[in-house]
A and B are shown apart, each in its own frame.
Chain A
């Protein structure tokens, strides 16, 4: 092999010549970007940065809000990253699974009859833990079922086929959300079975199936005792952060230290080689979808309780946010997703405050485009590990 290489060069030349830095393509994108950035840089400095520095108390508050949001965005982003890592598929339906999680938690809360006014704190606490488990179980199996039905038959199809199938699934799930949110259907079921619990679900959903649903405010609302009063930080925020971080840590250690986690990593690295080593790739992928689904459901419940509402389109927006987070951190990388989630949360909170909530989605997408252009592998992704 080496003998056939250019004999004139004394030292061994690399097999593939490095492409020059300034290819035509890159030049195109860089010029475009400079124009794009230049357009925004001056006003951003003159308006937003000055305003930020002007009121540090406000800034701190926004940072805290951003980090809190960031933790749950990270949990959703993990679902994307797991699936992308193992199948190289953008699981478009994951955001909607998250929405189903929020709806299921509202259903279970109503079934259990939890009410912030009448139920005791201890009941709420234990019921919520039970509900979290139930929601995670449901969404986990839902996700694995979707994989079995809509993605597995397309394992060897061209790459776009499973993506399109996932987009279709996303619409189907949104309609499942509408269906679950139809109080009239629950009312009919309640009448047929004579069940009070179902009647409560029907009341909680209301008669408008597409309207936003109110989730009772079950989390404690007091200020956390060790935080000064100037910074609003309630137990609710703390709880969201703790549960999210717990899930992140649990997942990280699962993938890092268990045998099944090892199988997941091996399958992600090279499915065929993993198969040759005796790993059941299909089962491993199913397990990945189970875990991803459970995380999505948990995130849905957390967000639902935190924001107090559930809407059937919430999955689309949240899904885009978290997908951006996953890409930002380096898709396929668990710690990267956590980092990306926190960053996106921060950006979101700052943009909401200083630019205007109506622009936030545009800001997030602009960031996504910038990342993909300059560092398609994300902040913590390995070079060459992904096909961008």
Chain B
């Protein structure tokens, strides 16, 4: 049976990825098959292979670093440095399972090994990119060398004359940083601290360093990273509602929309109101929290899938409202009469209709001035601060009386009620707390993008967020972050970049063999087709690992209750033996 599941997951994901590529790039059938089948299958087999944890962790984390290097490689080989760092860190975290008797030294050794493997794996990918993939995508050797010297930091400073030396330098650098970070992560994990400050510091280090490397090499990674972080922030909020309180919310994007629209209306020339971002972000969070209460109050008596459908309805109504409250056509607009007074609610143009609201004022700080769209670094650090605070508060909230009440309610509402938990208050707080964090996310999103449209908040957003929470592990924050990085990384970095790379390869092939080029049209269906991936992720996860990649321990026990069924006979025997039960 475990084997069947393994084949299912391999087959499912391989099928999805294979279909995706085959569909878009039919003249690269061979490459598509390799990507779709072999790589993913390799990952799954690795996951279950009887290898030592060190090698396994290194190879798995390294695979992501390698993919990142390959998709960005031809244009921006410098990405390999960030990929090597991140995969080394990931490997260190993966390789070392915390055990009571573990020492930091053992953790460091394991982590270093895993990190080195991951870093080397990434470096290998860069090598592959330089000599195989870049030429195939139409980037010739001199061009690639130029990209290399442009994007690799320290290359000039170290006076590395020849390009091959730079390449070798990156290879060594990846391996060493990977090993160092892996060692640090492994050692920190072995510390019996709670909260584990060194571990957090090790994780924070690359997160804080990324913008600097990015700026030095002009990699433009932050354009993708900031939306990824925003979505992770949203997923953390959703995790409160779904993961902690067990209320399936299919309309979570509505709160995101409410936060973003509040910001847009209060700090843009659209309505002539221009309040500072630092105030508006709190207003947006408060408005979202109140909207959470407003959704929560009428749904109190509902349970399970009925609740899901009502939240879905809410998630549909909110974008409709934003779409229709403004920018409507001059004829046939809805005019309601209130005590005889005509109220043209669509003429008031609160939300700009389909055109949305544009521009939205950016935040402003004394030393930095306005946050410019061209300079992503202040945005990035602001978001990191928001996320850090959010993670801290959610963590404290989970361990508080309120958090325990949520979990009790999730396990059994009736029993929780009987134990004196105020279910009404607990549910409402779950909805409004969850909504509040997406209010923050929405406010930041609005200010960051600088323009918002009702179409950015549709059902698929709610589903992607749910996917992130489920893939990572319901109710476990680390899991949600990992799930978010995987799904959003695929969504915003790997798939679009990979698709671009594939298109380049296909076009290059067409040039040399005289076939037809793929052109731009192949990229247009991407939005919908990535939903295929997420759909398959949802189904496969439910079938194989409903508790997610990094499960919450209690939740895991709950979901696998059928693995060790209560033995009816033994219960009956006990009842027979105990006369007080038989009576």
Of B300, B320, B539, B559, which is within 8 A of A362 by CB?
A: B320
Of A154, A327, A373, which is within 8 A of B542 by CB?
A: A154
User: A150: CB under 8 A from chain B?
Assistant: yes
Selecting from B97-105, B256-264, B338-346, B495-503, the interface stretch reads B338-346
User: A266: CB under 8 A from chain B?
Assistant: no
Write out the residue numbers on chain A whose beta carbons fall within 8 Å of the beta carbon of B321.
Answer: 362
Alpha-carbon separation in the docked complex, A361 to B337 (Å): 22
Prevailing SS type, chain B contact patch: helix
Write out the residue numbers on chain B whose beta carbons fall within 8 Å of the beta carbon of A159.
Answer: 304-305
Alpha-carbon separation in the docked complex, A182 to B303 (Å): 40
Alpha-carbon separation in the docked complex, A247 to B333 (Å): 39
Point out residues on A near B: beta carbons under 8 Å.
24-26, 28-29, 32-33, 36, 42-44, 46-47, 88-90, 150, 153-154, 156-165, 167-172, 174-175, 178-179, 182, 188, 209-210, 312, 316, 320, 323, 327, 355-356, 358-359, 361-362, 365-366, 368-369, 372-373, 376, 387-388
A21 CB, nearest partner CB in chain B, Å: 13
User: B298, A171: Cβ atoms under 8 Å?
Assistant: no
Selecting from B41-49, B177-185, B282-290, B523-531, the interface stretch reads B523-531
Write out the residue numbers on chain B whose beta carbons fall within 8 Å of the beta carbon of A170.
Answer: 535
With contact pairs A175-B532, A178-B528, A358-B320 given, residues A157 and B542 touching in the complex (Cβ less than 8 Å): yes
User: B525, A178: Cβ atoms under 8 Å?
Assistant: yes
User: A163, B335: Cβ atoms under 8 Å?
Assistant: no
Point out residues on B near A: beta carbons under 8 Å.
23, 26, 248, 250, 294, 297-306, 308-310, 312-314, 316-317, 320-321, 323-324, 328, 332-340, 343, 424, 459, 463, 466, 470, 524-525, 528-529, 531-532, 534-540, 542-543, 546, 558-559, 562
User: B424, A24: Cβ atoms under 8 Å?
Assistant: yes
B411 CB, nearest partner CB in chain A, Å: 11
With contact pairs A25-B300, A47-B336, A168-B535 given, residues A90 and B313 touching in the complex (Cβ less than 8 Å): no
Nearest chain B residue, comparing its CB with the CB of A178 = B528
Task: Tell me which of A26, A175, A312 has the highest count of chain B C-beta atoms within 10 A of its own C-beta.
Answer: A175
Write out the residue numbers on chain B whose beta carbons fall within 8 Å of the beta carbon of A320.
Answer: 312-313, 316
Of A29, A44, A46, A179, which is within 8 A of B340 by CB?
A: A46
Alpha-carbon separation in the docked complex, A47 to B531 (Å): 42
Nearest chain B residue, comparing its CB with the CB of A165 = B542
Of A29, A33, A153, A356, which is within 8 A of B543 by CB?
A: A153
Write out the residue numbers on chain A whose beta carbons fall within 8 Å of the beta carbon of B305.
Answer: 88-90, 159-160, 163
Write out the residue numbers on chain B whose beta carbons fall within 8 Å of the beta carbon of A25.
Answer: 300-301, 424
A316 CB, nearest partner CB in chain B, Å: 7
User: B463, A179: Cβ atoms under 8 Å?
Assistant: no
Nearest chain B residue, comparing its CB with the CB of A177 = B528
Prevailing SS type, chain A contact patch: helix
With contact pairs A157-B559, A160-B248, A165-B539 given, residues A387 and B302 touching in the complex (Cβ less than 8 Å): no
Number of A-B contacts (CB under 8 A): 175
Nearest chain A residue, comparing its CB with the CB of B543 = A153
User: A171, B532: Cβ atoms under 8 Å?
Assistant: yes
User: B297, A28: Cβ atoms under 8 Å?
Assistant: yes
User: A355, B316: Cβ atoms under 8 Å?
Assistant: no
B53 CB, nearest partner CB in chain A, Å: 29
Write out the residue numbers on chain A whose beta carbons fall within 8 Å of the beta carbon of B535.
Answer: 167-172, 174-175
Write out the residue numbers on chain A whose beta carbons fall within 8 Å of the beta carbon of B558.
Answer: 158
User: A164, B466: Cβ atoms under 8 Å?
Assistant: yes
Write out the residue numbers on chain A whose beta carbons fall within 8 Å of the beta carbon of B524.
Answer: 210
B168 CB, nearest partner CB in chain A, Å: 44
Q: List 27 A-B contacts (CB under 8 A).
A: A26-B301, A28-B297, A28-B298, A36-B298, A42-B339, A43-B343, A46-B339, A89-B305, A90-B309, A158-B558, A161-B559, A165-B538, A167-B538, A171-B463, A171-B532, A171-B534, A171-B535, A171-B538, A175-B529, A175-B532, A179-B23, A210-B528, A323-B309, A355-B334, A361-B320, A365-B313, A366-B313
Write out the residue numbers on chain A whose beta carbons fall within 8 Å of the beta carbon of B23.
Answer: 179, 182
User: A356, B334: Cβ atoms under 8 Å?
Assistant: yes
Alpha-carbon separation in the docked complex, A307 to B309 (Å): 27
A354 CB, nearest partner CB in chain B, Å: 9
Of A24, A26, A327, A356, which is within 8 A of B332 by CB?
A: A356
B225 CB, nearest partner CB in chain A, Å: 26
A55 CB, nearest partner CB in chain B, Å: 16
User: A359, B302: Cβ atoms under 8 Å?
Assistant: no
Nearest chain B residue, comparing its CB with the CB of A388 = B306
Alpha-carbon separation in the docked complex, A162 to B445 (Å): 33
Write out the residue numbers on chain A whose beta carbons fall within 8 Å of the beta carbon of B540.
Answer: 168
B261 CB, nearest partner CB in chain A, Å: 16
B327 CB, nearest partner CB in chain A, Å: 11
Alpha-carbon separation in the docked complex, A29 to B301 (Å): 9
B370 CB, nearest partner CB in chain A, Å: 36
B310 CB, nearest partner CB in chain A, Å: 6
Write out the residue numbers on chain A whose beta carbons fall within 8 Å of the beta carbon of B546.
Answer: 157-158, 161
Alpha-carbon separation in the docked complex, A156 to B546 (Å): 12
Write out the residue numbers on chain B whose beta carbons fall within 8 Å of the beta carbon of A369.
Answer: 298-299, 310, 313-314
User: A28, B300: Cβ atoms under 8 Å?
Assistant: yes
Alpha-carbon separation in the docked complex, A137 to B203 (Å): 55
Of A24, A43, A169, A174, which is within 8 A of B528 by CB?
A: A174
User: A174, B317: Cβ atoms under 8 Å?
Assistant: no
Alpha-carbon separation in the docked complex, A366 to B558 (Å): 35
User: A388, B302: Cβ atoms under 8 Å?
Assistant: yes
Nearest chain A residue, comparing its CB with the CB of B474 = A160
Alpha-carbon separation in the docked complex, A368 to B305 (Å): 13
Alpha-carbon separation in the docked complex, A210 to B525 (Å): 7
Supply 6 further A-B pairs (C-beta < 8 A) apart from A172-B532, A179-B23, A368-B313: A150-B543, A165-B539, A170-B535, A172-B536, A366-B313, A376-B306
User: B539, A169: Cβ atoms under 8 Å?
Assistant: yes
Nearest chain B residue, comparing its CB with the CB of A188 = B26
Write out the residue numbers on chain B whose beta carbons fall within 8 Å of the beta carbon of A168.
Answer: 534-540, 542
Write out the residue numbers on chain A whose beta carbons fall within 8 Å of the beta carbon of B562.
Answer: 156-157
Nearest chain B residue, comparing its CB with the CB of A172 = B535
With contact pairs A171-B532, A175-B528 given, residues A165 and B323 touching in the complex (Cβ less than 8 Å): no
With contact pairs A171-B463, A362-B321, A388-B303 given, residues A209 and B338 touching in the complex (Cβ less than 8 Å): no
User: B559, A158: Cβ atoms under 8 Å?
Assistant: yes
Alpha-carbon separation in the docked complex, A335 to B337 (Å): 38
Alpha-carbon separation in the docked complex, A209 to B525 (Å): 8
Closest 4 CB pairs of A and B: A171-B535, A168-B538, A43-B336, A365-B313
Alpha-carbon separation in the docked complex, A67 to B321 (Å): 27
Write out the residue numbers on chain B whose beta carbons fall within 8 Å of the beta carbon of A358.
Answer: 320, 323-324, 328
Alpha-carbon separation in the docked complex, A172 to B533 (Å): 8
Task: Tell me which of A42, A361, A365, A366 has the highest count of chain B C-beta atoms within 10 A of its own C-beta.
Answer: A365
A384 CB, nearest partner CB in chain B, Å: 14
With contact pairs A46-B338, A365-B313 given, residues A372 and B306 touching in the complex (Cβ less than 8 Å): yes
B546 CB, nearest partner CB in chain A, Å: 5
Write out the residue numbers on chain A whose beta carbons fall within 8 Å of the beta carbon of B310.
Answer: 368-369, 372
Task: Tell me which of B313, B328, B332 has the highest count of chain A C-beta atoms within 10 A of its own C-beta.
Answer: B313
Write out the residue numbers on chain A whose beta carbons fall within 8 Å of the beta carbon of B308.
Answer: 90, 160, 163
A253 CB, nearest partner CB in chain B, Å: 29
Alpha-carbon separation in the docked complex, A25 to B413 (Å): 14
B146 CB, nearest partner CB in chain A, Å: 37
A358 CB, nearest partner CB in chain B, Å: 5
Alpha-carbon separation in the docked complex, A165 to B541 (Å): 8
